[in-house]
Amino acid sequence: MNDDSQILIARLLTHQTLRRDEKLVKRVLSDELFRAEVDARLLACGLKLLDNVYADHVTLALTRTIEPKIFGARDVWQNNNFGLARDGVALLVVLWAQIILPKRERQETHQHADDDQNDMFGTEKPLPRAEDTSIGISYKALLSDFGDKLGKKTRMDMNLGTLAKLGFIERRGDVLLEGPLLDLMMDTDVLKERIINGALADVFKRAPARLVAVGDPLLDADADLAVDTDDTDDDTSSDIPH
């Protein structure tokens, strides 16, 4: 039994997320033997390590095979364990679309949030961290654009508070920023095309004037929360962090 694997799993269960630059997280992402041991111990409990190169954190999720035994216990399938109503799920997907999709595009082009133009040698540099490329959105703009569809101000404020407590977003004054879980718990491959060419197509056709740099002072509610465990891994997990 490896004490490091025990410590890593216990810390993830306790703190829900850990940064990728922490010692044990860096090890589990680079050491194949250590990763295999951690994966085996998690699998025995129906869990899996959740990470992707675009996120600054890692977390835990249920394996796909255990989902029916957890979510399918009732007559109606529970598509998440966060207690979010339909408008809360819709708000989460809107935030993901407006914050994560543009961030990933900047990461893939090696462009930082405060860059005015692309660096011609940027692709030779390491993939930028999320905190260097993530851009927040204005709360007032979100309320103006989606308030009527998402329960108006009182209801939207309540859902934003819940999403902040869960770690999906962070609030700094009028700016809504990416939280540790926002780029981990949503399946980009499943949702991206549906959002860009579907429910939020009109939003992405607008000029990005409402985006707010991190440093600066509707959707169909039937959409399910999808989980992205790894951009190259077909064995996706559920949206339960632990």
| Whether pLDDT at 90 is above 60 | yes
pLDDT, residue 205, reads: 53
The sheet that has 47-50: what strands, in order across it?
18-19, 57-62, 47-50
Q: Cα-flanking dihedrals φ and ψ of residue 179, to 5°?
A: -95, 175
Q: Which tens digit of pLDDT belongs to each residue from 103-151?
A: 888 888 877 655 555 554 555 567 777 777 778 899 999 999 999 888 8
Mention every residue, 6+ apart, whose C-beta is less than 8 A from residue 205. Answer: none
Bigger pLDDT: 57 vs 232: 57
The sheet that has 169-172: what strands, in order across it?
169-172, 175-178, 136-138, 211-212
Q: Which tens digit of pLDDT belongs to each residue from 195-224?
A: 655 555 555 554 443 444 444 334 444 444
- Of 70, 31, 74, 29, nearest to 51 by C-alpha is 29
pLDDT, residue 124, reads: 57
| Whether pLDDT at 26 is above 60 | yes
**DSSP of 165-191:** HHTSEEEETTEEEE-TTTTTSS-HHHH
Q: Is 21 helix (H, G, I), strand (E, B) or coil?
A: coil
Q: Contact, 163 vs 169, CB < 8 A?
A: yes
Q: List Cα–Cα distances, 137 to 119, 145, 173, 175, in angstroms.
A: 24, 12, 11, 6
User: Degrees (nearest 5) of the Cα angle 100, 106, 111?
Assistant: 145
Q: Supply the pTM of this predicted model.
A: 0.70
